[in-house]
Structure 1
Amino acid sequence: MNRLTSDVQACEAHATDADLDELRARLAAARLPEAETVHRAAPDPRRWDQGVPRADLVDLVNYWRTAYDWRSFEARLNGIGQFRTTVDGLGIHFLHRRSARADATPLIMTHGWPGSIAEFIDVVDELADPKDADAPAFHVVVPSLPGFGYSDKPTTTGWGIEKIAAAWVELMGRLGYHKFLAHGGDWGGPITTILGGRYPEQVLGIHTTTAQAPPGLTTDGLTAAERKWTEDTHDFWSHRAAFAKLQAARPQTIGYSLVDSPVGLLAWILDKFAEWTDTEDSPFETISRDRFLDNVTLYWLTRSGASSARIYYESHLSLDPELRVDVPSAIVVYPRDIEKCPRAWAQERYRRIVRWRSPETGGHFPSLEVPEYFVKDLQDGLAAVLAAHR
């Protein structure tokens, strides 16, 4: 059990010096537009009304070119442990952090867009070997979604959320984990929901930051706060989700810009981090510039701007409305997330909610914004899931 086989191979990340030199050269030669026509002094979220402010981008580009250290992130990935396996003809890359604890439970963690495995590298150690001996421990597996990072890029259609969930079951089985827990947010949310709903024999239970209510539910009986959640979510999809509709309809077209221009890629991703974090003005109030640039540089070096966007083409609004999850589920709704699902709605899909939390702080990237709370909530939530089996 858990030995490397011909199906699972260890690997390491190592960008060439030429690739890093080319990145710096492209950043130095970038051609930028004029400044936005809304002018407000920071801190003020309205500075971002037309998108990423030019001054903020110039500062970040200069830091990326002159001070950022990719090699540090590479070393961290290699230190955790990187592996690859092939599922249905597609190479899947994943991190695998084994716990030293004999009572550890396997856990697969799924990221989304515009995130990556970089979202979880600061929390895997505490999840695997917690300082608190009473906290649960996990054998942590963090795969890169198809078309993201060091996973292969699909060359045919079909790699949507249902197929990805099936691939995760196959992956965990190859590692000897025939029963496991699952966590996910953003695209990881519906993938984790599918894992819990379709594979109850393998999946002990789930934890998600992106609960997926069935369509067509009414606001009757909701509290005023919960109605505000539904209004915020509706506003997001009606007025602030052009990126999703564009990537669902024309991922190849936007992909040319994202793969050819590091500044274009940087701005496209920064815009989402700025809007979706629980901050007053800038995502760097809570997330380090280096960790953010680890994420962006991973997209750049793997040329995954187009291939990652295609998950929207494959899966946008595709979750089965009839899918129900009967395994124990722990759900957390962060106040500045882009989708906020009332518990009454969530219960229509997740039939055994064993823990529900709505903290006072945090946004769409909680493992980066509030990592200590994120880890504690994940530990407590999955402990409740496991207790439901006793």
Structure 2
Amino acid sequence: MGEPLISVPDAELDDLRRRLRSTRWLTPWPLDGWQAGTDTDELRRLVTYWATDYDWRKHEAAINALPSHVAEIDGTPVQYLRFDGEHPDALPIVLTHGWPSSILELTDLAQRLATPSQYGGSPADAFTVIVPSLPGYGFSPQRPSFPPALQYHEIWHALMHDELGFTRYAAHGGDLGAGVSSRLGEAYPDAVIGIHLLAVAPPTSYDEQTLTAEERTYLDQVAAWTADEGGYQHEQSTRPLTLAHALSDSPAGLLAWILEKYRAWSDSGGDLSTRFPDDFLLTQASLYWFTGSISTSFRPYYEYARGLTRRVERVEVPTAVAVFPADLTQPPRAWAERTYNVTRYTRMPRGGHFPAHEEPALLADDLVDFFRTLR
């Protein structure tokens, strides 16, 4: 345990509240609710709470009580959480978050995996859980070079294998974290015993004549989703800094940008409060705000779009795919098998893009069941 993960000066907290109170609100359209983006009434309510009654210091203290460590990998300080397993032979696993998430979203899942007996499970299923913060996401600064000398999966392997001494380990991730976990399994099959994914990389090539009916339906659904929901990804991939200037200057704008994603991508039925307490959403937004990391969180999108991040070609280590019904897409098993050695495929009964927060018990059970066969 070293320095606190985050320590915000009073002046910065005062500045945030001043900016929130001075928000210049948009001219409304004759539309209700979320039809054209973030609902103004909901945003006003949260901005008012953020500026007045939201207690950042309480959450800052909780963040700093987490089991945090730092390792410098290829010139990048990587902050990570470590939850030691309750069993002496606990399997090491690295959990990787995505966007607009942070390591805070994974703490409940990490605790369930490290101490399963506290949740009705067996100590023999325990993991030693490492939760690193992606460079440029709140707790870890962005990588100093562009393009980087080491890519995310290479940094993770250096952390797990070289820094922490785990000769064999597992990996899990969704969103961007699924890509990092996939490349770990592809690049280091002697060390990575298996990967557990919430999303899959598409095949680098395929013969359309071989597509199953289920795969064709899936690709039609992906195209429809991209047309209706993919604007954020296109902007973050093509002109990220134009957007980042606005979001780095306006906390209300920053909150609007990520709030809409938590609603649209979760199993909330359109009601955020059914999945995310106000304090959870505002803590995530506060983290991006105080660390100035919304701009650097866009880098993976830009790098991937320009071929600076390696594409996944074929992953031969055992792979589990967990599909949540309200996630961005629901790839069928046949589609995943074009890229991965899929040995477990689970369609979950509920949950969305943020299952470590939405359904931690379901996700933990699936991880335990899959890796129990590989220990």
TM-score (structure 2 length as normaliser): 0.92
The alpha-carbon deviation at position 148 of structure 1 amounts to 0.8
1:348 aligns with 2:355: no
Q: Within 5 Å, which residues of 2 pair with 1:1-390?
A: 11-39=4-32, 47-131=33-117, 132-133=121-122, 136-159=125-148, 163-172=151-160, 173-217=162-206, 218=208, 222=212, 224=214, 227-316=216-305, 318=307, 323-351=313-341, 353-386=342-375
- Deviation track 1:238-291 (CA, whole Å, cap 9, x = no partner) reads 332111111111121111112111111100001111111112212322122212
Is 1:146–1:159's contact at 8 Å kept on the other side of the alignment?
A: no
1:146 positional shift: 1.2
- Amino acid in the other structure paired with 2:179: P
**Bigger mean CA offset, 117-126 vs 48-57:** 117-126
Distance 1:130 1:382, change over 3 A: same
Partner residue in 2 for 1:42: none
Q: Which residue of 2 aligns with 1:43?
A: none
Question: What are the Cα deviations for residues 342-367 of structure 1, in whole angstroms up to 9, with x where unaligned?
Answer: 1111111112x221101121111111
- Deviation by residue 1:151-190 (Cα, 9 ceiling, x = unmatched): 1123431249x71100000011201222211001000011
AA aligned opposite 1:111: H
CA 33–26 in structure 1, closer or farther in 2 if over 3 Å, else same: same
Residues 321-378 of structure 1 show CA distances to partners (whole Å, capped at 9, x for unaligned) of 5621111111111111113221111111112x22110112111111111222122222
Contact 1:36 1:54 in 2 (8 A): no
Alignment CA distance shift 1:119-1:68 (3 Å): same
Equivalences, count: 369
Q: 4+ residue stretches of structure 1 with deviation over 6 A?
A: none
CA distance in 1, matches of 2:276, 2:340: 31
Instruction: Supply the AA of the counterpart residue of 2:35.
Output: D
Equivalent-residue separation in structure 1 for 2:293 and 2:243 (angstroms): 12
Shift of 1:90: 1.5
Report the Cα offset of residue 120 of structure 1.
0.6
- Partner Cα separation in structure 1 for residue 288 and residue 10 of structure 2: 17
CA contact (8 A) 2:324 2:350 kept: yes
- Using the TM superposition, give the Cα deviation of residue 134 of structure 1 relative to its aligned residue in structure 2, in angstroms: 5.5
Aligned-partner residue type, residue 346 of structure 2 = R
TM-score, structure 1 normalization:
0.88
Aligned-partner Cα distance in 2 for 1:167–1:320:
14
When residues 298 and 287 of structure 1 are mapped into structure 2, their CA distance, relative to the original with a 3 A threshold, is: same
- Residue 67 (structure 1) shift: 2.4
Over 3 Å counting, the alpha-carbon distance change for 1:337 and 1:331 in structure 2 is same
Question: Residue type of the partner of 2:336?
Answer: A
Mapped partners of 1:72, 1:375: distance in 2: 27
CA distance in 1, matches of 2:209, 2:284: 38
Distance 1:221 1:88, change over 3 A: closer
CA RMSD of aligned residues (A): 2.1
Contact 2:106 2:356 in 1 (8 A): yes
Q: Which moved more, 1:335-344 or 1:63-72?
A: 63-72
Structure 2 unaligned residues grouped into runs of 5+: none
Write the letter of the residue equivalent to 1:344: A
Provide closer, same or farther for how the CA distance between residues 249 and 322 of structure 1 changes in structure 2, counting only shifts above 3 A.
closer
1:159/1:271 Cα in 2 relative to 1: closer, same or farther (>3 Å)?
A: farther
SS at match of 2:300: helix
SS in 1 for 2:276: coil
Unaligned runs of 5+ in 1: 40-46
CA deviation profile, 1:78-134 (whole Å, cap 9, x unmatched): 322112221111221111111232121111111111111121122221111112125
Task: Quickly say closer, same or farther: Cα 1:290–1:169, change in 2 above 3 A.
Answer: same
Provide closer, same or farther for how the CA distance between residues 11 and 177 of structure 1 changes in structure 2, counting only shifts above 3 A: farther
